[in-house]
Amino acid sequence: MSPLATTSAIAAFVAAIALTPGAAARVQTTEPQNVYTNNVTLSDQKMTLAFTRVERGALVIFRLRNVGKHARDFQVASIKGPIVPPGKTARFEVNFIDRADFLFTSSGVKVKTLSGKFTVY
């Protein structure tokens, strides 16, 4: 095979690989893979989460419901959600990219601060 034919064959091979669908695709590991809704009930004395563990990359929609007599906020992984007045609901979203144990808290005026651990595995 002549050098020109070899060069042409290599160029054709490289072009075929470059034009193959998905050849340049890569897995986006930080995109949300699954979406979960976590119902959070806040009261003056306690808070309840539907779950406290989720896999890395998940998008969690926190649906907050305040059944107490005082307004409360909710914070997880240093992301603060809205203040929820008594008898009202609110929501916010967190995309958990890193594996870790994150502190979640709820506080308000004239109520004790509540806390717990949210695990991303």
Q: How far apart are CA 87 and CA 42, in angstroms?
A: 10
CATH number, domain of 87, equals 2.60.40.420
Is 21 part of any domain?
Answer: no
pLDDT per residue as tens, the chain (121 positions): 665 555 555 655 556 555 555 555 555 555 547 999 999 999 999 999 999 999 999 999 999 999 999 999 999 999 999 999 999 999 999 999 999 999 999 999 989 999 999 999 9
Looking at residue 121, its amino acid is Y
Backbone angles phi, psi at 11, to 5 degrees: -65, -40
Provide the domain count of the chain: 1
Q: Which range marks the domain in which residue 55 is found?
A: 35-120
Q: Is the whole-model pTM more than 0.85? A: no
